[in-house]
Amino acid sequence: MSQNNTENQTAVIQGEAEPQVKHEATLYAEGVAEVGSFHVTNALLTSTGAVIIIALLAVIIRLRLREVPRGIQNFFEVLMEGALQLCDQVTNSRKISTRVFPLAISVFLFILVNNWLGLLPIGGLGIIETGEHGLSFIPFLRSGTADINTTIALAVMAVVSANLFGIFSIGIWKTFNKYVNLKALGSIVTRVSKEPTVLVVAPVTFFVGVLELIGEFAKVASLSFRLFGNVFAGEVLLMAMSKILPFLLPIPFLFLEIFVGLIQALIFSILVLVYFTIAAQDHDEHAEEGAEHHTAHA
């Protein structure tokens, strides 16, 4: 036994043994190429591939459009109608659904294709780099949503777009007053003589607006970390299963991750619809309608 160990150590020293190539999951996207001073990561490569696939699919469907649908057009029309009806259930307004649907379906497709591209069993396609801990394998494809930079960008886009949609829907002043409720503070001066309770109600209303503003930042964190955490955990799970039993054990988990990728894309897009719907609502009008309704019953 000791003689064999000695021979192996001698072989490594003399360079006869093959160095081991390691592949470890990292929280950050790994570089696969350099274009001038631009650093190309595997997550960026996958995201670019997702955009190209979606664009090609859109062009193919557009070229096959006919007045009487058939084949692929018929299939996608059924899907789009079902998706639009799902939007109606979230927004309760076909007007809002038709305005937000293009963005929601685009986000859904981008996340879905990204999630699924990262699961492609193309194994050895990648590069080998020499690092501090020896040779490491970097795959060309890694789900873009397994990179926190991508999910944060999607979350910021969704929250900012929802607030812009609110500005165009109900106006910049009403949108601003959702977060910095100057109207509530002003009511202290105008209504304190008739309603002394406004001294308590107005500051509370103003503070609720501040909480709403903090909530906008919480939305970014919630959207980005939920999507990133689920997709990244799935990649780590598949890698762990493949190290235990490479050929059979990962298969059921692969199908599980396909389903998880679909669910995560659906959750993200539905939350985008919810944020847009909330942003388009005028809380002052609802409050006035409620007061009138209460007065009428009284």
pLDDT tens digit sequence for 124-140: 565 666 655 556 667 77
3-state DSSP call for residue 171? coil
C-alpha distances (whole Å) from 175 to each of 16, 164, 204 are: 70, 9, 18
Percent of all residues in the chain with a pLDDT value above 90, rounded to a whole number: 28
What is residue 290's predicted lDDT score, i.e. its pLDDT? 44
Look at residue 9 and tell me if it is in a domain. Answer: no
Q: What was the pLDDT predicted at 297?
A: 45
Element (H, E) at 127: strand 126-131
Mean pLDDT of 141-149: 86
| H/E element, 86 | helix 72-91
Q: What is the pLDDT at residue 143?
A: 84
Domain coverage including residue 192: 19-283
Q: N- to C-terminal Cα distance for the chain?
A: 95
- Residue 141 is assigned to a structural domain of this protein: yes
Model confidence pLDDT, tens digit, residues 243-267: 777 777 778 888 888 899 999 999 9
**pLDDT attached to residue 24:** 64
Cβ pair 151, 224 in contact under 8 A: yes
pLDDT band at 296 (very low <50, low <70, confident <90, very high): very low
Q: Output the pLDDT for position 210.
A: 82
Could you give the number of structural domains in the chain? Answer: 1
3-state helix, strand, coil in the chain (%, to 5): 70, 10, 20
**Residue 288 maps to a domain:** no
- How far is Cα 6 from Cα 191, in angstroms, rounded to an integer? 92
User: Per-residue confidence at 226, pLDDT binned at 50, 70, 90?
Assistant: very high
| Contact of 100 with 87, CB cutoff 8 Å | yes
Kindly state whether residue 95 falls inside one of the protein's structural domains: yes
Any domain includes 4: no
Give the containing element (helix H, strand E) for 276. Answer: helix 250-279
Q: Is 232 part of any domain? A: yes
Closest-CA residue to 174 (of 93, 284, 100): 284
Q: CA nearest 198: which of 208, 187, 207?
A: 187
Q: What is the dihedral of CA 119, 256, 269, 97, to 10 degrees?
A: 120
